[in-house]
């Protein structure tokens, strides 16, 4: 099992599996998937990912979408347009190519949390 598969499995076991099979909320506003965090980034930004790693990331996103309607944000090393399109097609709500400035990432996360909070309040009023 490679690092991407191991990380995907750990995420599934810790966060996603407890919320299955009824698409019940699992106590979060959104799901943020950071493929290859700071520990795996080079001095010049995030490293490239292999085709196998890209498939593992996309498979994880599809599994997450299959069990929840929560917003899914995916931050991954910048690939080509095809990778971004595939991410959206499997259910990602926002693809954030890395490297990304911490200021921009923070603003995007605050915006999505604001949006999900407002959507939840509207749907439960």
Q: Where are the domains of the chain?
A: 3-19+29-123
pLDDT above 90 coverage of the chain, percent? 28
* Average pLDDT of span 51-59: 91
The domain defined by 3-19+29-123 carries CATH number 3.40.50.2300: yes
What is this structure's pTM?
0.70
What's the whole-number mean pLDDT along residues 2-9?
Answer: 54
Q: Is 99 exposed, middle or buried (0-12, 13-18, 19+ CB in 10 A)?
A: middle
Specify whether the CB–CB gap between 74 and 35 falls below 8 A: yes
Can you say whether residue 36 is alpha, beta or left, with left for phi > 0 and alpha for psi between -120 and 50 degrees?
left
Local confidence band at 74 (pLDDT 50, 70, 90 cut-offs): very high
Q: Which residues pair with 46 in a beta bridge?
A: 41
The residues that bridge with 76 in the sheet, in sequence order, are 97
pLDDT for 27: 61
Strand partners, 42: 45
Highest mean pLDDT among 21-30, 59-68, 78-87, 114-123: 59-68
Q: Would you say 33 and 62 are in contact if contact means Cβ atoms under 8 Å apart?
A: no
């Amino acid at each position: 099992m490679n690092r991407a598969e191991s990380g995907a499995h750990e995420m599934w076991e810790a966060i996603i599996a407890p919320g299955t099979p009824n698409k019940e909320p699992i106590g979060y506003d959104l799901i943020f998937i950071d493929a290859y965090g700071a520990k795996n980034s080079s001095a010049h930004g995030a490293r490239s990912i292999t085709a196998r790693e890209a498939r593992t990331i996309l498979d994880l996103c599809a599994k997450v979408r299959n069990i929840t309607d929560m917003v899914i944000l995916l931050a991954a090393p910048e690939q080509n347009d095809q990778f971004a399109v595939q991410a959206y097609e499997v259910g990602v709500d926002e693809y954030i190519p890395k490297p990304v400035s911490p200021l921009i990432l923070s603003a995007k996360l605050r915006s999505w949390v604001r949006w999900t909070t407002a959507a939840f309040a509207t749907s439960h009023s």
